[in-house]
Structure 1
Amino acid sequence: MTDRSVAVKAAAEPDFLQFNDLACEAVGGKVIFATDEWFAPAANLLKREPPEFIASAFTEFGKWMDGWETRRKRIAGHDWCIIQLGVPGQIFGFDVDTSFFTGNHSPYVSIQAACLDQKPTLTLEGDRTGMAATDSQLAAVATLGSEAWPELVGVSKLQPGYSDSCHNYFKITCDQRVTHLRLNMFPDGGISRLRVYGVGQRDWSSVSAHQNVDLVALTNGGVCLGYSDAHFGHPRNMISLGRAANMADGWETARRLDRPKKLKADHKGILQVPGSEWAVFRLGHVGVISSVEVDTNHFKGNFPDSCRIEACYLTPEEETRCIRTRWNSGKWQVLLPPQKLRPHHIHLYGEAELKLSQPISHIRLVITPDGGVSRLRLWGRPTSTNQQQIPASKL
């Protein structure tokens, strides 16, 4: 329960981290049951913000911790909780983060999963610190039969919460849609965050061919498949729900070092610079785009000068090749020509500005020269051509 050690150079991160966190509270994820929450409530597992440590913070139950921490178990059994995903979908990997739990982390963990037809009526309300599951809650959760759910992660050892060991990554192979998880701690202890990386899966059979849908939204199955730079914020943030909470909730790159010493602009006011940054997304469904929204909310002194959007239709095999070549594909066509951007502003582009009217499956947002974008929306109509899901993490 002390400050973490000085960071050392981390090993290469797994590729599934580019996917969306399907369990985050920001997309509706919630803990609906926990056996024990004495020191810190299980709801903390799903916070969007990274965990923090405050040395002087204590509650009447003991040391305040920014995670889920159970009491030292003195009865038979082990601690576990049930998590309802905010976005049901296909999972490719987990990050079980033990940050700051250095003498009190859970020694072992396992994760089970299920796809439930109906949401359970279980709920946990308010601050649960100092509480444990009641007999009635235990009886209610028993009806789910969660102890028999298939394992995605078998019983595995966790490393303590120092900066060079806190991220416990588990890459999995699961072709099934998942709605709920059971996180097991053996036997007790603390975990700071659970990140559930995957791709949302929507039932498109109920969507009319004439209905406009945000085809790149994470709730509709949109996913980031590559990018040039994500120094201050990952591109996947742009397809999250609602407007961004702050700059950290968007995509922001480092400042490019190849900028001219003296900047010049063309007749439209767009800067003429040699470099740019990009991010590629696969749409949740093939479709025809009718309007685009580029939101620079919160980016007031660090917004891009301009942006353009390219698009294409790719087969699964073509997508695989593009990922391997970092998206140097010759199939890109201009969907939205270069547009001058403004700070802290929602930019809307309709059919008058868009140049493509055929179905597309992938888009590339290009910003010049660098900067931040908080949200990207691509409104359009899904076409009848279904797109096969390809897990880029396996390529």
Structure 2
Amino acid sequence: MNNLACESVGGKVLFATDDWFAAAENLLKKSNPEFKVGLFTEYGKWMDGWETRRKRIPGHDWCIIELGVPGIVYGFHVDTRFFTGNYAPRISVQAACLHPEKTTLLPRGDRIGSAASKEDYQAAEQFNSENWEFLLQMTELKPGYEESCHNYFHVNSRKRWTHVRLNIYPDGGIARFKVYGIGQRDWSLCGPNDLEDLLSMVNGGVCLGFSDAHYGHPRNLIGLGRAADMGDGWETARRLDRPPILKADAKGILQVPGKEWTVFRLGHPGLITHIEIDTNHFKGNAPNSCKIEASVLTSKEEEEKIKAKWDHNWKTLLPVMQLHPHKRHFIEGTLISLQEVVTHVRITIAPDGGVSRVRLWGFPRQLP
């Protein structure tokens, strides 16, 4: 699923009790944690995560995180990598759904080597966060060795959340904190003629399956804005069934046996009228071609197709078209083959390579 708290989608730390060794903002980084041997700051060992000082006063440490994409939370990934003798031994997670106008705080700035001031605590009181609903009760973490650093926790709530409070007991460090879920918006505020990106993670799009994600996960395709680099897209390995000598047809489409695919559920059923396929940053490794297919599936049918590895009769939405490196491809309605309301899409590239973003613009519609 999508990481709703990642800095790349707008996740922000609004408050933390202590940032002595390493600031809480590190929790939300998209990149994997690093360890730099022998690197120290004036406050102690440099660590790529959130690490508080050894607590010598009553209480425990905690921080408030504003999700970049409000939505339904299905689980947490707490990564303690490299925090071995200094990891937080226990955590809990609370959540709330707050109105944006009621959550304004001053920017935190560079907080390393500091703790929350009296003014910080007073500002944070507006959240009343100690009374938020628990999505995860107090539970133990494992230390940050390679074999034990990944801590996964399932969430049963199906409510919409905008903020989470991460509690560590009593102190210590965590490298990364990921909030996995599906974005959810209020579609009742969307008019029948409002053009929306029905695939965007902000609007509830979610990746359900793929053939290969060797260098980059296809969920990146539905991220916010344009990709920051090649790592912020979907990139597959080079297929081993490529012919020794490649041939193309009159339209420039390579005649190859292999292909790669990924399947998404749209955030809302809709009629797709415009398509954007962006190969930004993929200069020497963009696919030669792409096609998009679509279907209408119920929740039960979706479960069956997942088990069947997406063996399904799809309808053509966008016929095979040639792609070009490092370019935004805009496809207007005249090239779109399907004029029906759909719920799911399959994006296929050939023979392999990378795509940074796909946008499926259309009108939200109810199924007949």
Relative to the length of structure 1, the TM-score reads 0.91
The one-letter code of the counterpart of 2:113 is G
Contact 2:279 2:325 in 1 (8 A): yes
Q: Does 1:43 align with 2:25?
A: yes
Contact 2:21 2:50 in 1 (8 A): yes
CA distance in 2, matches of 1:292, 1:77: 53
Match of 2:251 in 1: 268
The one-letter code of the counterpart of 2:37 is A
**Unaligned regions of 5+ residues in structure 2, if any?**
none
CA distance in 2, matches of 1:123, 1:56: 34
How do residues 44-193 of structure 1 correspond to structure 2 at under 5 angstroms? 44-118=26-100, 119-193=102-176
The one-letter code of the counterpart of 1:92 is Y
Partner of 1:182: helix, strand, or coil? Answer: strand
Partner of 1:86: helix, strand, or coil? Answer: strand
Match among 357, 361, 368 for residue 375 of structure 1: 357
Match among 177, 184, 190 for residue 201 of structure 1: 184
Runs of 4+ aligned residues of structure 1 deviating over 6 Å after TM superposition are none
CA distance in 2, matches of 1:124, 1:185: 23
Alignment size in residue pairs: 367
The alpha carbon displacement at 1:26 in A equals 1.0
Contact 2:15 2:108 in 1 (8 A): no
Contact 1:33 1:123 in 2 (8 A): no
Partner of 1:142: helix, strand, or coil? Answer: helix
The one-letter code of the counterpart of 2:133 is P
CA distance in 2, matches of 1:293, 1:140: 43
CA distance in 2, matches of 1:169, 1:124: 30
The alpha carbon displacement at 1:93 in A equals 0.9
Match among 220, 238, 241 for residue 258 of structure 1: 241
The alpha carbon displacement at 1:83 in A equals 0.6
Partner of 2:335: helix, strand, or coil? Answer: coil
Contact 2:227 2:356 in 1 (8 A): yes
Partner of 2:306: helix, strand, or coil? Answer: helix
Q: Deviations over 1:264-317 (max 9, x none)?
A: 212211111111110001111111111111111111111111000000111111
Match of 2:366 in 1: 384
Q: Deviations over 1:338-385 (max 9, x none)?
A: 011111111111112110111111110000111100000001111134
Contact 1:31 1:124 in 2 (8 A): no
Match of 1:28 in 2: 10
Q: Deviations over 1:59-107 (max 9, x none)?
A: 1111111110000001111100011101100011111011111111111
Match of 2:333 in 1: 351
The alpha carbon displacement at 1:34 in A equals 0.5
Contact 1:79 1:185 in 2 (8 A): yes
CA distance in 2, matches of 1:298, 1:358: 33
Partner of 1:26: helix, strand, or coil? Answer: helix
Q: Does 1:361 align with 2:336?
A: no
The one-letter code of the counterpart of 1:215 is L
CA distance in 2, matches of 1:257, 1:157: 44
Relative to the length of structure 2, the TM-score reads 0.97
Partner of 1:226: helix, strand, or coil? Answer: strand
Partner of 1:352: helix, strand, or coil? Answer: helix
- Aligned CA RMSD, in angstroms, stands at 1.2
Match among 222, 232, 243 for residue 226 of structure 2: 243
CA distance in 2, matches of 1:350, 1:69: 50
Q: Percent identity?
A: 60
The alpha carbon displacement at 1:125 in A equals 2.2
The alpha carbon displacement at 1:122 in A equals 2.4
The alpha carbon displacement at 1:145 in A equals 2.2
Match among 231, 239, 243 for residue 214 of structure 2: 231
The one-letter code of the counterpart of 2:359 is R
CA distance in 2, matches of 1:296, 1:136: 47
Partner of 2:92: helix, strand, or coil? Answer: strand
The one-letter code of the counterpart of 1:248 is G
CA distance in 2, matches of 1:124, 1:303: 39
Q: Deviations over 1:14-33 (max 9, x none)?
A: xxxxx100001111110101
CA distance in 2, matches of 1:121, 1:300: 41
**Unaligned regions of 5+ residues in structure 1, if any?**
1-18, 387-395
Match of 1:320 in 2: 303
The one-letter code of the counterpart of 1:103 is G
Partner of 2:54: helix, strand, or coil? Answer: coil
